Amino acid sequence: MLSYRHSFHSGNHADLLKHLLLLALLQKFGEKDKPFTYIDSHSGAGIYDLQSTNARMNMEHESGISRLWRRDLAHPLLQRYLACVESVNQDEQLQYYPGSPAVAQWALRAQDRLHLIDLQSAEIETLRGFLGRDGRISIHQRDAFEGLLALSPPEPRRGLALIDPSYENKADYQRVVTTVRKLQRRWPVGVIAIWYPLLAKARDQSDWLKASLLREGLEGISTYELSVAAQANEYGMHGSGMLVINTPWQTQAQLQGAFDEALPLLAPEAEFVIATHD
Ligand SMILES: C[S@@+](CC[C@H](N)C(=O)[O-])C[C@H]1O[C@@H](n2cnc3c(N)ncnc32)[C@H](O)[C@@H]1O
């Protein structure tokens, strides 16, 4: 039974990192006319009202999108990110925040395909209402890991999978490793982007996850970690990371440039670290 609802967290610093990287990867695929596939294994609802009761509980967007909203930003990736968020808002007020399915739809061309997977009925219902009429998009209510493998290799094969579990279930860490191993065999040309939390010392499993994935002998691995506070001992998420397999050329440079500009706006103690693992 899943209790995680992304509406409590939408637009926070973790979404900011994830969606900036997602936009950079999708932009890379869009540089050639050839179609691509995007698979989102943990889609969530696709659109979030930042004025909802859930979002107002902790106002997490204040650690992310709200820091950049209406700013005059110079880096092209930051400009694209703001344009994408603006596309779901009517006026200058920030009310809605796009989830990863909406970010991907914004970057999609007529020839591209999207597969969106989630298990929760409420999220699937919102997704269907918001994106269900787009003929390029298929929405699947099923288990993320099983669904991702069943859809792979997709047609067209050129493409990207985002794996974005909540890790509410600790088995998700092991399931990510096992699924990526199988996925890479089925879809060796696929770019795979995995999100993971950076947690308090007593709970953090990011080093285990990275080491386990690195042992799989995968190609072109890079990691991107954004923290907005110091690591606590017992509780809390101070940041998050993304691990990319088959990293497209110039992704690191693009993200570094964007965060050189964005980092001072996020938090005084914010840090951004990119690593390549050859
Ligand atoms: C972190 S949220 C996704 C956020 C979304 N990717 C975004 O960036 O806007 C994780 C989602 O995964 C879903 N989920 C968790 N475990 C799942 C599973 N085993 N199979 C399918 N969906 C799952 C939850 O319902 C939740 O909507």
HEC string of 97-144 equals: EECHHHHHHHHCCCCCEEEEEECCHHHHHHHHHHHCCCCCEEEEECCH
Distance, in Å, from the CA atom of 41 to the CA atom of 253, rounded to the nearest integer, reads 27
Percent of the chain with pLDDT over 70: 100
Residue 101 phi/psi, 5-degree rounding, is -60, -40
Query: 106 exposed, middle or buried (CB, 10 Å; 0-12, 13-18, 19+)?
Result: middle
Question: What backbone torsions phi and psi does residue 113 show, to the nearest 5 degrees?
Answer: -125, 145
pTM over 0.95: yes
Residue with CA at minimum distance from ligand 1 atom 16: 165
Quick: pLDDT tens for 190-203.
999 999 999 999 99
Beta-bridge partners for 194: 163, 243
Supply the mean pLDDT for the chain. 97
User: Which one is catalytic: 112, 164, 204, 278?
Assistant: 164
**pLDDT-based confidence at 3, cuts 50/70/90?**
confident
CA 102 / ligand 1 centre spacing (Å): 14
∠ CA 68-69-72, nearest 5°, is: 75
Q: Ligand 1 centroid to 198 CA: how many Å?
A: 18
DSSP H or E stretch at residue 159: strand 159-163
* Domains in the chain: ranges and CATH: 6-277 (3.40.50.150)
As given in the structure block, the two tokens for residue 50 are 């930042």
DSSP 8-state assignment for residue 31? T
Query: So what's the pLDDT on residue 37?
Result: 98
Any residues with Cβ below 6 Å from ligand 1, and which?
2, 4, 6, 15, 18, 42-44, 99-100, 117-120, 123, 143-144, 164-166
Q: How many CA atoms lie within 13 A of 14 on its CB side?
A: 20
CA of 145 to the centre of ligand 1 (A): 11
pLDDT digits (tens, 9 = 90+) for 47-104: 999 999 999 999 999 999 999 999 999 999 999 999 999 999 998 899 999 999 999 9
- Confidence grade of residue 123 (pLDDT, cut at 50, 70, 90): very high
- Position 1 pLDDT exceeds 80: no
Residues in contact with 228: Cβ distance below 8 Å, sequence separation at least 6, in sequence order? 13, 63, 238, 239, 266, 267, 269, 270
- Identify which of 16, 119, 121, 140 to mutate to test ligand 1's pocket (most ligand atoms within 8 A of the CB): 119
Ligand 1 center to 276 CA (angstroms): 27
The yes-or-no answer on residue 134 being catalytic is no
Our mutation pick for probing the ligand 1 site, out of 4, 42, 128, 162, counting the most ligand atoms within 8 A of Cβ, is 42
